[in-house]
Amino acid sequence: MNWYGIRAIYQFEMARTWRTLMQSIASPVLSTSLYFIVFGAAIGSRMGEIDGVSYGAFIIPGLIMLSLLSESISNASFGIFFPKFSGTIYEVLSAPVSAFEIVAGYVGAAASKSIILGGLILVTARFFVDYEIVHPFWLLAFLILTSVTFSLFGFIIGIWADDFQKLQVIPLMVITPLTFLGGAFYSIDMLPDPWRTITLFNPVVYLISGFRWAFYGVADVNVAVSLGMTLIFLVICLTAVWWIFRTGYRIKT
Amino acid sequence: MEPIISVKGLNKTYAGGFTALKNIDLEIQRGEIFALLGPNGAGKTTLISIICGIVNPSGGTVRAGGFDIQRDYRRARGEIGLVPQELATDSFESVWTTVNFSRGLFGKAPNPAYIEKILRQLSLWEKKDSRIMALSGGMKRRVMIAKALSHEPSILFLDEPTAGVDVELRQDMWKMVHSLRESGVTIILTTHYIEEAEQMADRIGVINRGELVLVEEKNTLMQKMGEKELSLHLPEPLQAVPESLADLPLTLSANGSQLVYRFDIKSSDTGIAEFLRRLNEANIEFRDLHTRESSLEEIFVGLVRGARKEKEEQLTKEAQG
């Protein structure tokens, strides 16, 4: 195992985060805090509880998940796309690093950033809204699992993308709508049929539901199903990455 | 002694059907400077890219430092440093960070003293904290060389190392290449500047349309394929080559004041004495003479043109059935 290689990629990516602190950390924390201020502190006090949880507290898991998903994808996709764009990918491809080590470096760094970001948002939320964490272990588990899975997904997008526009398409046009419609701001039990049934085809529903269960012990779908769906998506992403390195898709001619 | 690079039956056909390399066999000895020459699109970069692991081969085997580049890729790649043709750098990083990154990527423990040594050798030490984007093109090229050397490779590939650099830097690069060779590094370079190969290489390989046309010791090549010219400057210009000398390999300059006699270097009888005797008989006087050996560039152009002509003739024959 080339530990120095993994560390080099990891540190290189993390250094980029510290260099662009305003964009990487401050900006998503600030934009999520605005949701807490508007929907939690201001409007939330005039809204009723959902499943016994105040509205301001209810939206916290969904909002953290929104940041987690979009930042994991953005960080990981940019991390591998930029060397392809600038041509520096030659160095990674010619180095004695395996596909696993490359992925561990890039995805590990992107997931680390997301976990740090999730933690910061959680702490920031406390300034505006009261909340509790019933299952802290599972909260951490969902945080890590989601960050790693969607960083892998971002890595795949970064390999696939051949221009900057494509990097933005999935986070903005797919992930954000799926999160907004996946129960970030409401319980899917509040939806009439057939919308409730249709919503169950949205994979983000399971992520938010599982994450909310870790906070408050209440969920739209069984937590085991949430965990299972997340793991299935993780396996799909791992398989896609394995195929990319096996075939050299868009990285090797 | 086992060659440091051994290429056997290497082929590369891209997805679009273009064949970039055709059955390449090549051995490079430890400690030599090998120049790979060829026109644009000949397959030089593809060959290097396959050896370095950037491009997948379609067939054949490659060993670097005694290790198979696919089965034992970690050890094979650990032996190799690559300076690619394009100036691909991490613009926002400092020189120090990017060179240390390269060392780590190749699985080597941090060694600030060694990195300092190569940065000093490449006159980059004063710029170690500068962002790469702030450096000149020549400095960026040095950074790429520093990155390639950061993990102490025994083989260094230089793909067009002096493309777009000024004369002074080119001279510096040549010195650096020689000093690297003295330290035991095997150097393989591709270049458009034939003069560069002539100055530096021990052996020359010529590649054209994906085929290795020849591999030869530079001196042998120049001796074997080179021609010499004897030029006579005439006080009275001639209208044409006299009838009495028509059977000799002579050419007359456009203004008729220079008569050029071509002869084979390796021939035991160059025919110079006979030419001068017949010149005297024809009452042609000359006021000055000098000889000139053909350059590697002329040999290279001749080889590539020869290969092209041969190919065209073969295609014509095939078309005629």
Task: Write the ipTM.
Answer: 0.85
Partners of B289 in the beta sheet? B232
- Give the gap in angstroms from C-alpha B109 to the nearest C-alpha of chain A: 7
More confident residue, A117 or A54: A117
The structure tokens listed for A9 are 């990629």
The candidate with the shortest Cα–Cα distance to B192, out of B220, B164, B213, is B164
* More confident site: B171 or B46: B46
Q: How far is CA B275 from CA B229, B254, B261, B278, B284, in A?
A: 13, 21, 8, 5, 11
Residues B114 and B215 in one domain: yes
B82, B91, B105: residue with CB nearest A5 = B105
pLDDT in tens, A148-206: 999 999 999 999 988 888 888 888 888 888 888 888 888 888 888 888 888 888 888 99
Answer with the one of B197, B222, B247 that is the final residue of a domain.
Answer: B222
pLDDT (0 to 100) of residue A250: 79
CA angle B122, B88, A12 (to 5 degrees): 85
Judgement on whether residues B100 and B28 belong to the same structural domain of the protein: yes
Q: Which residues of A touch B15 (CB under 8 A)?
A: 253
Per-residue pLDDT reduced to its tens digit, B156-170: 999 888 776 777 777
How confident is the model at residue A196, as a pLDDT? 84
Please tell me which of A70-79, B189-198, B248-257 the model is most confident about, judged by mean pLDDT. A70-79
User: Averaged over A57-75, what is the pLDDT?
Assistant: 89
Over residues A5-31, mean pLDDT: 89
Q: Which residues of B268-291 are buried (b: 16+ CB within 10 A; e: fewer)?
A: eebbeeebeebbeeeebebeeeee
Same domain? B218 vs B231: no
Domain boundary pick from B222, B247, B268:
B222
> Which CATH number characterizes residue B140's domain?
3.40.50.300
Is the residue at B316 inside a domain? no
At B41, give phi and psi (nearest 5°): 75, 10
CB neighbours of residue A178 within 10 Å: 19
Residue B30 pLDDT level (bands cut at 50, 70, 90): very high
Answer yes or no: is pLDDT of B304 > 80. Answer: no
Q: How confident is the model at residue A239 (pLDDT cuts 50, 70, 90)?
A: very high
**Burial of A28: CB neighbours in 10 Å, binned 0-12, 13-18, 19+:** buried
In this structure, the answer to whether residues B159 and B186 fall within a common structural domain is: yes
Structure-model confidence comparison of residues A252 and B73, the more confident one:
B73
Q: How far away is chain A from the Cα of B77, in angstroms, using its nearest Cα?
A: 5
Beta sheet of B19-28, edge-to-edge order:
B19-28, B5-13, B59-64, B67-68
Question: Which amino acid is it at B216?
Answer: E
Q: Residue B310 domain-assigned?
A: no
A22, exposed or middle or buried, with CB in 10 Å at 0-12, 13-18, 19+? exposed
Give whole-number Cα distances, B208 to B19, B39, B201, B317, in Å. 12, 7, 19, 21
In chain B, the residue whose alpha carbon lies closest to the alpha carbon of A93 is B54
Answer whether B14 sits within 8 Å of A19, measured CB to CB. Answer: no
Structure-token match 């390796």, residue found: B266
Task: Check CB contact of B16 with chain A, cutoff 8 Å.
Answer: no
- The answer as to whether B308 is a domain residue is no
- B102 pLDDT tier (thresholds 50, 70, 90): very high
**pLDDT higher than 90, residue B74:** yes
pLDDT, mean over chain A: 89
- With beta carbons under 8 A apart, name residues in chain B contacting A91: 82, 102, 105, 147
pLDDT above 80 (res B266): no
Q: Is residue B78 part of a domain?
A: yes
Rounded distance between C-alpha atoms, residue B60 and residue A63, angstroms = 54
Please classify residue B215 by burial: count the beta carbons closer than 10 Å to its beta carbon, then call 0-12 exposed, 13-18 middle and 19+ buried: middle
The per-residue pLDDT for A113 is 94
What one-letter code names the amino acid at A105?
A: G
Residue B72, amino acid: D
Flag if B54 and A4 touch (Cβ within 8 Å): no
Round to whole Å and give the CA distance between B300 and B292.
17
Residues B147 and B44 in one domain: yes
DSSP B208-258: ETTEEEEEEEHHHHHHHH-EEEEEEE-SS--SS--GGGTTS-EEE-TTS-E
* C-alpha torsion sign, points A214, A26, A81, B64: negative
Give the pLDDT confidence of A72-114 residue by residue, as tens digits: 999 999 999 999 998 899 999 999 999 899 999 999 999 999 9
Please give the mean pLDDT across all residues of chain B: 86
Cα separation, A245 vs A52, whole angstroms: 48
Domain around B151: 5-222
B18 touches chain A (CB under 8 A): no
Average pLDDT estimate for B66-87: 91
- B102 interaction partners in chain A (CB closer than 8 Å): 8, 91
Confidence at residue B57, expressed as pLDDT on a 0 to 100 scale: 92
Write down the pLDDT at residue B62. 94
Per mean pLDDT, which range of A50-59, A110-119, B70-79, B108-117 is the poorest?
Answer: A50-59
Q: Do A19 and B92 touch (CB under 8 A)?
A: yes
Task: Report the distance separating Cα A247 and Cα A151, nearest Å.
Answer: 21
Cβ of B104 within 8 Å of Cβ of A94? The answer is no
The residues, any chain, with a CB within 8 Å of residue B250's CB and separated by 6 or more, are B241, B259, B260, B261, B262
B88: nearest CB among A5, A87, A252: A87
**Distance, CA of A33 to CA of B308 (rounded, Å):** 69
- B105/A248 touch (CB, cutoff 8 Å), yes or no: no
Q: Which two tokens stand for residue A109?
A: 């760094």
Work out the pLDDT band at A246, boundaries 50, 70, 90. confident
- Judgement on whether residues B48 and B129 belong to the same structural domain of the protein: yes
Percent of chain B with pLDDT over 90: 36
Q: In which element (H, E) is residue A156 found?
A: helix A136-160
Query: Does some domain include residue B90?
Result: yes
Read off the tokens for B300. Answer: 């290279």
Which of B86, B91, B105 shows the shortest C-beta gap to A8? B105
Shared domain check, B237 and B177: no
ω into residue B39 within 30 of 0, thus cis? no
Put the strands of the sheet holding B250-252 in their side by side order. B250-252, B258-264, B227-233, B288-293
Domain count for chain B, please give it. 2
| Rg for chain B, CA atoms, rounded | 25
Does B251 lie in the same domain as B192? no
Measuring CA to CA, how many Å separate A107 from each of A21, A247, B94, B191? Answer: 19, 20, 23, 38
DSSP state for residue A41 in the 8-state scheme:
I
Within a domain: B298: no
Whether A88 sits inside 8 A of B88 (CB atoms) is yes
Q: Are residues B104 and B20 in the same domain?
A: yes
B94, B191: one domain: yes
Beta bridge partners of B64: B5, B67
* Tokens matching residue A140: 């951490």
Q: Are B106 and A15 an interchain contact pair (Cβ–Cβ within 8 Å)? A: no
- B185 in the same domain as B243: no
Tell me if B300 is assigned to some domain.
no
Question: Which candidate in B89, B99, B102, B105 is best for mutational testing of the A interface (most A CBs within 10 A)?
Answer: B105
Higher local confidence (pLDDT), A11 or A168: A11
Contact yes or no for B76/B64 (Cβ under 8 A): yes
